[in-house]
Amino acid sequence: MSTGAKVASQSVPLPQEPNPVLPGSTPGSSSSSPPRWWQKPFVALRHLSRSTQFVIAAVLILGLTMAFVGNLVSKTIERSAVQAAAEAGALYMATFLEPYVQELSTDKRLSAKTSQSIDRLMSSPTLNTHIKSVKIWSPDGTVIYSTNKDVLNKAFPTSYEISQALAGHTVTEWGELHDDENIYERSLGIPLYEIYAPLREFGSGRIVAVGEFYESAKTLQHEVDRTRREVWIIVGTATLTMLLLLFCIVQGGDRIIERHQQTLRRQMHEQAQLLSQNGDLQRKIATAHQEFSQINELTLRRIGADLHDGPAQLLTLILVRLDELAALQERYQRNGHPLEGDVLETMRNAAQDALQEIRNISRGLALPEINGITLRQELELVVLRHEQRSKTQVKLSCGSLPEDLPLTHKICIYRFVQEALNNAYRHAGGAGQEVHASYDGTWLEIRVCDAGPGIASGSAPATEVNPSRTCLGLAGMRYRVEALAGIFAIESTAGVGTQASARFTL
């Protein structure tokens, strides 16, 4: 590995049980105060389908809008019809009356002869059918002619309509007749509309009087009512058509949304089941890892015991027999028969070395009883054993550590520190051996450092460092840490040293 190289492995914690909120469902239930009276309609609307909610909203909004439009169009048509009829009537009556008012250019009142002529004109069936009453006003607001003789030559306040007529405009009034001069017209008991038209002097065009005509509104009212009905039929038909089309569109979209929601609910339900199954599988895998770790420890203990009780005992027997042969050799030499070479001594040294090696392996495989001790005591024990075995010094630094730790974590940490110190002794000669342990309330971190040459570029992979030397290597260290959902990492810098770290979340 090159200078500054870093080998790390991380294990993802187990996922929690999913708790999805499906579309259309209310997440949780919380007590709330009862709705107020103005909130009750909105609460009831929430339980309706989207298309129904849209129809209600559209009926309210579009209905009010179209009602306003229909009423505006009706009023406009009504005003236009009345204005057209008034202008036609005013032109019609002005044609008949203007010849009789020409004397007003020199006199302020009509003569009796002229009044009689107008009376005869108004008694004509042609005019009497439509024109029910006529008044002629002088510019000062005096009635100088009237079908109702009771108001003749009476002065009244100049109204807005008369002022407009004197200004040259044709004015129409439609509705109730409330003025004092309209007593006769109200007594007729039929709908009337008033027309104020200017009466002009021939030649100069000067306005000399104002003619007020009361025309029967039956025909006009019938026409206006018929036009209003037609307008409302058109507006209503257009409104209903738009509502129907919009309802069909919204209902189609609502069905598509509902299908998509059902599909999404089904997919989310399936995903929740898959996540739950995945969580169960990962928990089973973690349990299998822990059980395998325990089985591995039992296997290592059995191998250690077998080495201690098997080959070690046989080598001990060989050494005892060699001691007997040595005694025979000394006796033989004392009798004057010297032996060449030192074969027995060579065999004894080889057997003693083999026995010591087997005992070391046995002690390394057999894990001490760590179930009843704390993590700090465990670290002190593994450091002490390493120092006794390797005759080297190890610096131990422990921060605040948890008092209670699962046995699987204790076994993993013991094996991790043991193997890391063995590697530091074999590859760094025991230089700068340090063990650091810390806990911040969430993460427990164990670090083992040395001041050796590091893992140089081109060396064997980390998973193959002396696999024949011990049952644990870097691969075994990584496997043990990750089996407990921990994070294993190796940091090495050539000429500076190597650091192995294991982090566990508690």
Last residue of a domain, one of 171, 203, 223: 223
> Which residue ranges of the chain lie beneath pLDDT 70?
1-47, 126, 174-176, 217, 219-220, 298, 301-302, 304-310, 312-314, 317, 321, 336-344, 359-368, 456-472
Inter-CA distances, 378 with 66, 435, 445, 471, Å: 87, 12, 15, 21
Q: Flag whether 137 is in a domain.
A: yes
Give pLDDT tens digits for 112-125: 888 888 888 878 77
C-alpha–C-alpha distance, residues 104 and 390, integer Å: 145
Q: Flag whether 285 is in a domain.
A: no
Domain interval for residue 497: 367-505
Residue 214: count of CB within 10 angstroms of its CB: 23
CATH number of the domain within which 432 lies = 3.30.565.10
pLDDT at 34: 67
Q: Flag whether 87 is in a domain.
A: yes
**End-to-end Cα, the chain, rounded Å:** 32
CATH number of the domain within which 150 lies = 3.30.450.20
Give pLDDT tens digits for 400-420: 999 888 888 888 899 899 889
pLDDT at 94: 77
Last residue of a domain, one of 223, 243, 263: 223
Q: Flag whether 299 is in a domain.
A: no
Query: Structure tokens of 124?
Result: 């004509």
Last residue of a domain, one of 180, 207, 223: 223
Q: Flag whether 329 is in a domain.
A: no
Q: Flag whether 483 is in a domain.
A: yes
Q: Flag whether 432 is in a domain.
A: yes
Distance of CA 36 to the CA centre of its chain: 29
Q: Return the sign of the alpha-carbon dihedral for residues 185, 189, 190, 192.
A: positive
pLDDT at 38: 61
pLDDT at 37: 58
Q: Flag whether 276 is in a domain.
A: no
Number of domains in the chain: 2
pLDDT at 314: 65
Query: Structure tokens of 257?
Result: 């949304």
